């Protein structure tokens, strides 16, 4: 049974539906990030208006806090966080990269030092599967190593080969249930390593394929080149996920190359820093996306009683909150500022994806 159906393709773009045990998701889509079980500052009331169909959460962080016992008792992450739509869980592979001072990689797995109390935890592919099964996410990611950039060939070769071996172990360890398991293509910016990784993972017949190890500091052109190498090698009928990307134009470029899924901290983190996306303009032929950046903390907005973006239909812009007010809230660290800005930026990203889908299906 196939849980992914492509309804329409157009010059490399594809649009369809991904089905999970908590509902369907229209592709291509963007996942807001809820690392520790919450999209920072957002309430379910906000999601009701944003209409996002999925969120992303994190194995490493949830395992450390609050720990699996309470999540098991709550009968899974969905119930625990009161979210009944799909969840994708990242495996901790990115933490291999981002917490490089606090971990050791071995063939067997990764030893992490907790960022909370320094305690040691050993993550093997098998253990990660067990954790993700306890969390009950709809889409589980295999444990991988997200290699840094720049990365020499020998390291990238060894690292991506190990990621593939870990994927084999993940698949073996996975119980037969409705959770989907995605593999992760690695290989840094090296064409042959990416090809090898893609081919070997494809042979495992996983439920979907992610492209990892990008957006770690390489030039955007390297990212696009890598997509050009990898996407054609991935099975057409399986969803493709570009991890951690990215800026709106990068998302468009990736969708153009056949990617279906995205996640990125930019809209949420930037919102907290008063860096707001406005004036979304997507060309009908999907040739380009334009937008403005509004740095709401700038002094020039101190007396500006206009909404953040008069072309935006998000709850923040539609309900009368002004630039001057939001700037004020941000400058005195009022949590409401974070919420208003996060709603706005997440809406921008979801709107971008809606318009991309609309123009593919048109």
ω into 246 cis (within 30 of 0): yes
CB of 34: closest distance to RNA in angstroms? 7
DSSP letters spanning 231-259: GGGS-TTS-EEETT---HHHHHHHHHTT-
- Interaction of residue 338 with RNA, rule CB under 7 A: yes
Rounded to whole angstroms, how far apart are CA atoms 303 and 352?
Answer: 29
- The residue among 77 and 146 lying less far from RNA, judged by its C-beta, is 146
Which residue in the list 138, 207, 260, 263 is annotated as catalytic? 263
DSSP letters spanning 265-298: SHHHHHHHTTEEEEEEEE-TTSS-EEEEEEETTS
- Interaction of residue 188 with RNA, rule CB under 7 A: no
Rounded to whole angstroms, how far apart are CA atoms 267 and 36?
Answer: 17
Neighbours of 153 (CB within 10 A): 13
- The residue among 5 and 303 lying less far from RNA, judged by its C-beta, is 303
Site for RNA in 5-64 (CB under 7 A): 32-33, 35, 39-41, 56, 58, 61
Choices 4-12, 70-78, 104-112, 141-149 (CB under 7 A): range interacting with RNA: 141-149
Supply the DSSP symbol for 101.
Answer: G
Among 25, 184, 329, 356, binds RNA (CB under 7 A): 184
- Interaction of residue 265 with RNA, rule CB under 7 A: yes
The answer to whether the CB of 322 falls within 8 A of the CB of 341 is no
Choices 13-21, 166-174, 196-204, 206-214 (CB under 7 A): range interacting with RNA: 206-214
- Interaction of residue 94 with RNA, rule CB under 7 A: yes
Among 18, 181, 264, 314, binds RNA (CB under 7 A): 264
Choices 15-23, 166-174, 191-199, 216-224 (CB under 7 A): range interacting with RNA: 216-224
Q: Rg for the chain (alpha carbons), in Å?
A: 20
Which residue in the list 90, 138, 207, 309 is annotated as catalytic? 90
Rounded to whole angstroms, how far apart are CA atoms 76 and 59?
Answer: 13
Among 37, 239, 246, 307, binds RNA (CB under 7 A): 246
- The residue among 92 and 258 lying less far from RNA, judged by its C-beta, is 92
For 10, phi and psi rounded to 5 degrees?
A: -155, 110
Among 15, 137, 250, 278, binds RNA (CB under 7 A): 250
- Interaction of residue 279 with RNA, rule CB under 7 A: no
CB of 108: closest distance to RNA in angstroms? 18
Query: Is 263 assigned a catalytic role?
Result: yes
Strand ranges (DSSP E) for the chain?
Answer: 4-10, 13-20, 23-27, 29-31, 55-58, 87-90, 103-105, 110-113, 120-123, 139-141, 180-185, 208-211, 240-242, 261-263, 275-282, 289-295
Taking the chain, what is the end-to-end CA distance rounded to the nearest angstrom?
28
CB of 291: closest distance to RNA in angstroms? 13
Closest CA to 1 of 180, 236, 246: 180
Q: Which x/- pattern, by CB under 7 A, does the window 97-116 give for RNA? A: xxx---------------xx
Query: Is 309 assigned a catalytic role?
Result: no
CB of 137: closest distance to RNA in angstroms? 12
Q: What is the size of the binding site for RNA (CB under 7 A)?
A: 55
- Interaction of residue 144 with RNA, rule CB under 7 A: yes
The token pair at 119 is 């305690």
Active site positions, annotated: 90, 263
* Residues lying near RNA in the complex (CB under 7 A): 32-33, 35, 39-41, 56, 58, 61, 90-91, 93-95, 97-99, 115-116, 141, 144, 146, 184, 210, 212-213, 215-217, 220, 243-247, 250, 263-266, 268-270, 272-273, 275, 295, 297-300, 331, 333, 335, 338
């Amino acid at each position: 049974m196939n849980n992914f159906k492509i309804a329409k393709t157009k010059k490399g773009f594809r649009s369809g539906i991904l089905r999970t045990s908590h509902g369907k998701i229209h592709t291509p889509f963007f996942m807001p990030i809820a690392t520790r079980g919450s999209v920072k500052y957002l309430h379910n009331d906000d999601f009701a208006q944003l209409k996002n169909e999925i969120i992303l959460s994190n194995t490493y962080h949830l395992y450390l806090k609050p720990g699996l016992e309470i999540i098991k008792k709550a009968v899974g992450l969905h119930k625990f966080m009161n979210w009944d739509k799909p969840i994708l869980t990242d495996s901790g592979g990115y933490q291999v990269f981002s917490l490089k001072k606090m971990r050791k990689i071995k063939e067997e797995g990764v030893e992490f030092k907790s960022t909370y109390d320094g305690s040691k935890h050993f993550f093997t592919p098998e253990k990660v599967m067990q954790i993700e099964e306890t969390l009950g996410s709809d889409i589980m990611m295999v444990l991988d190593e997200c290699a840094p950039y720049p990365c020499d060939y020998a390291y990238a070769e060894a690292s991506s080969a190990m990621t593939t071996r870990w994927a084999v172990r993940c698949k073996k360890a996975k119980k037969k249930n409705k959770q989907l398991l995605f593999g992760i293509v690695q290989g840094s910016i090296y064409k042959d390593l990416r090809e090898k990784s893609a081919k070997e993972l494809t042979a495992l017949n996983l439920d979907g394929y992610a492209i990892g190890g990008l957006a770690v500091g390489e030039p955007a052109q390297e990212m696009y080149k890598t997509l050009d190498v990898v996407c054609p090698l991935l099975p057409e009928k399986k969803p493709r996920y570009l991890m951690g990307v990215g800026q709106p134009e990068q998302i468009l470029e990736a969708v153009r190359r056949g990617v279906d899924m995205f996640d990125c901290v930019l809209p949420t983190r930037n919102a907290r820093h008063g860096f707001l996306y406005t004036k979304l303009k997507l060309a009908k032929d999907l040739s380009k996306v334009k937008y403005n950046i509004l740095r709401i903390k700038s002094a020039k907005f101190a007396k500006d009683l206009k909404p953040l973006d008069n072309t935006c239909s998000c709850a923040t812009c539609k309900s009368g909150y002004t630039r001057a007010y939001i700037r004020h809230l941000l400058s005195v660290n009022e949590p409401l500022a974070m919420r208003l800005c996060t709603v706005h930026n997440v809406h921008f990203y979801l709107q971008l994806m809606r318009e991309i889908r609309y123009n593919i299906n048109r």
